[in-house]
Structure 1
Amino acid sequence: MTTRGTDLLLTAIAPVIWGSTYIVTTAFLPDFQPLTVALLRALPAGLLLLLIVRQLPARAWWGRIAILGALNFAIFWAMLFISAYRLPGGVAATIGAVQPLIVVFLSAALLGGGVRRVSVIAALLGLAGVALLVLTPQAALDPIGIAAGLAGAVSMAFGTVLTRKWQPPVSLLTFTAWQLTAGGILLLPVALWAEPRIPSPANLLALGWLGLIGAALTCYLMFRGVTRIGPATVSLLGFLSPATAVLLGWVFLNQSLTPLQIAGAALVIGSIWIGQRQ
C-alpha cells in the first residue's frame, strides 16, 4: 500500500469512531447537558495528553491555540451535542455534512489556490449520499438543533483549515494536547454554569469512550491527516461518520436499510474516492 493510502486509512478511523457519538450519547448520556458532555469529552483527554507530552505552548502561540481549541472543540462539540440532543441522529449528521463544502472554499481563501470543480462535485455527492442514508419521512426538524448543527459545521471547517495553516514546531500529539486542553478550559465556566451532573459508572464508560478514543486518539489521527493529505480530502472522509451511525443502528438497534440508504452509502464512498484522487 502506498504512503498516501496508509494515511487515508488511518485518517478514516477517526470519522468511523465519531459515527458512534450519536448512539453512545443518546443511550448512555440521555439526561446530560450538551455543554457538560463536550467539557467531559475534551478536558480530561487534553490533560491526559499533556501529562504524556509534558510541553506547554510558547507565549507566542497562546492566541492561536485558544482559537483552534475554540473552533475544533469548544464551539464545535458544544454545537454538535446540542444538535444531537435536539435532533434525530440522522438529521444532525446530514446538517454537519455541509462541512466539506465549506472547507473547499475556505482552503482556497486561506491556503491559496483555486476552487477545484472536482472538490465541489465530490462534496455535493457526499452530501446527497448522507441525505439518502439518514433522512427519513419521520425526521423531526428543530430550529435550534438545525442552527447548532450549521454553527458546528462552520466552526469545524474553519478549525480544519487553520490547523493546516498554523503548524507549530512540535509533534502532532503535542499540538492535539494543546488544542483539546484549550477547548476544555474554554468550556469549563460555561458547563459549570449549566449545572453539570455527577456521572454514574455507565456514564463514565461512555465518557471514557468519547474522550479517550473519540477525542484523544481520533483527533490525533485527524490532525495527522490534515497535515499529510490536506483539509479538503480529510473533510470528505467525514462522510463516513453518518454512514457509520446508520450501520450501528442497523447492527445494534435492528434498524432496516432501505435501497435508498444503500444507494446513499454508495454515493458517500464514491465522493471520497473522487475527492482523494484530485
Structure 2
Amino acid sequence: MNTKKHISTLLDTALTAVTPVIWGTTYLVTTEWLPPGRPFTAALIRTLPAGLLLVAWTRHAIPRSHWLRIGVLSLLNIGFFQALLFIAAYRLPGGVAAVVGALSPLLVMLMAWCVDSDRPGIAAAGVAGLAVSGMALLFVSPGDRWDPLGLTAAVAGTVCIASGTFLSRRWRNRMPILAFTGWQLTLGGLALIPFAILLDPPLPALEMRHFAGYLYLALFGALLAYVLWFRGISRLSPVAVSSLGLLSPLTAIVFGWALLGQSLTPLQITAMGLVLGSVLALQWLISVSPGGRQTDEKNNP
C-alpha cells in the first residue's frame, strides 16, 4: 500500500471509529437525560426522525430491484438489532451482553470465509479472540446471571449486526451513502413502532433535558454515527469496521469514570488496554494483508 492510500485508510478508520465512540455515550445520555423505562421509544425517536431527514434531503429513491435488500439491511442493522439490544440490556448484566457483542468480528470473519472464501489469518483470528477475552475480564463477574431469553437476544443481536455489516458492503450497489443510511434508518425505525407501542409506557411530560437527550441521540447517535458507519463499511474491510465496534463499551466506561464518578480497578484498566490493543492490532493486520490491500484498491481508485 503506497503512502497516499495508507493515509486515506487511516483517515477512513479514524472517521469510522467516531461512530462507536458516539454510541458509547448512549448509556450516559439514556440514564441522565431521558425518562426511564422506555427503551424502544428511545430507539424509535433515535432512528426514525434521522432517517426521514436524510431521505427528504437526498430525495434518492431505492432502486426497484433493491427494495428487498434494503429492507433486510434495515431490519438487521436497525430494527431487529435495536430491539434485541434492548431486550438483552434489560435481562442481562451489561458485561455479559458486551462479551457476546465482542464476538461480532469473529462472526464477520466466518461469513467472509464461508461466502467469499476469504480465509482469516491465524493472527487476526487470535487477536479477535484476545478482544473477547479482554471484554470478559473487563465486565463479567462470578455473580452474573445468565438469563436464557436475554442471552438468546444478545446472541441474535450480535448475529444481526455482524450480518448487516457484512451484507451492507455487498448490497449497497453505489447508492449514495446519505440515501443508503437514510432509508435504513427510516425502515428500521418504522419496524420499531410496534415494540414502542406495545412494550413501552406512554411518554410523560417532557423536560428540557429529555428534549436535549432525544435530540442528541437522533442527530449524533443516529444521523451522524450511521452515516460514518456505512461510509466506513463502503471503504474498509467488514472485519476492520466490526472490530471498531469494541470501542463503544470502552467509551462508556471512560465516560462513566470521568462524569459519573465510577471507579476503575487495576484489572479493568489492564483489560481495557488489552481490548484497545486488540482493536489496533486487527486494523494493522487487515491493512497489511493481501485482502486488505485489495479492499483499499477497490474502494479508493
Q: TM-score, normalised by structure 1?
A: 0.92
Rounded to whole Å, the distance in 2 between the matches of 1:25 and 1:142 is 23
TM alignment of 1:161-172, pairs within 5 A: 161-172=166-177
- Return the offset for 1:246: 1.1
Rounded to whole Å, the distance in 1 between the matches of 2:120 and 2:273 is 25
1:263 aligns with 2:280: no
Q: Which of the numbers 137, 150, 153 marks the counterpart of 2:155?
A: 150
1:184 aligns with 2:189: yes
Q: Which residue of 2 is the match for residue 174 of structure 1?
A: 179
Q: How many residues align?
A: 278
1:20–1:140: structure 2 CA closer, same or farther, 3 Å change rule? Answer: farther
Q: Which residue of 1 is the match for residue 137 of structure 2?
A: 132
- Return the offset for 1:208: 1.9
Rounded to whole Å, the distance in 1 between the matches of 2:128 and 2:214 is 31
Q: Is contact 2:40–2:200 with CA below 8 Å preserved after alignment?
A: no
1:226 aligns with 2:233: yes
Q: What runs of 5+ residues in structure 1 fail to find an aligned partner? A: none
| Identity value in percent | 45
RMSD: 1.9
Q: Which residue of 2 is the match for residue 252 of structure 1?
A: 259
Task: Name the SS of the counterpart of 1:57 in structure 2.
Answer: coil
- Return the offset for 1:236: 0.8
Q: 1:158-208 deviations in whole A, cap 9, x for unaligned?
A: 000000111222211111111111111222234323355226233332222
Further displaced range: 216-225 or 104-113 = 104-113
Q: Which residue of 2 is the match for residue 103 of structure 1?
A: 108
Rounded to whole Å, the distance in 2 between the matches of 1:273 and 1:150 is 25
Rounded to whole Å, the distance in 2 between the matches of 1:196 and 1:47 is 24
Task: Name the SS of the counterpart of 2:241 in structure 1.
Answer: helix
Q: Which residue of 1 is the match for residue 294 of structure 2?
A: none
- Return the offset for 1:140: 4.4
Rounded to whole Å, the distance in 1 between the matches of 2:194 and 2:145 is 32
Further displaced range: 92-101 or 178-187 = 92-101
Q: Which residue of 2 is the match for residue 33 of structure 1?
A: 38
Rounded to whole Å, the distance in 1 between the matches of 2:161 and 2:150 is 16
Q: 1:47-97 deviations in whole A, cap 9, x for unaligned?
A: 011121111212211101100000000011111122223334333322221
- Return the offset for 1:99: 1.2
1:197 aligns with 2:202: yes
Further displaced range: 228-237 or 136-145 = 136-145
Q: Is contact 1:118–1:274 with CA below 8 Å preserved after alignment?
A: no
Q: Which residue of 1 is the match for residue 47 of structure 2?
A: 42
Q: Which residue of 1 is the match for residue 290 of structure 2?
A: none
Rounded to whole Å, the distance in 2 between the matches of 1:91 and 1:22 is 16
- Return the offset for 1:131: 1.9
Q: 1:100-133 deviations in whole A, cap 9, x for unaligned?
A: 1111101222334213222211211111112222
Q: Which residue of 2 is the match for residue 276 of structure 1?
A: 283
Which protein shows a greater Rg? 2
Q: Letter of the aligned partner of 2:45 in structure 1? A: L
Q: Is contact 1:22–1:89 with CA below 8 Å preserved after alignment?
A: no
1:111–1:174: structure 2 CA closer, same or farther, 3 Å change rule? Answer: farther
- Return the offset for 1:209: 1.8
Rounded to whole Å, the distance in 1 between the matches of 2:142 and 2:27 is 19
Task: Name the SS of the counterpart of 1:263 in structure 2.
Answer: helix
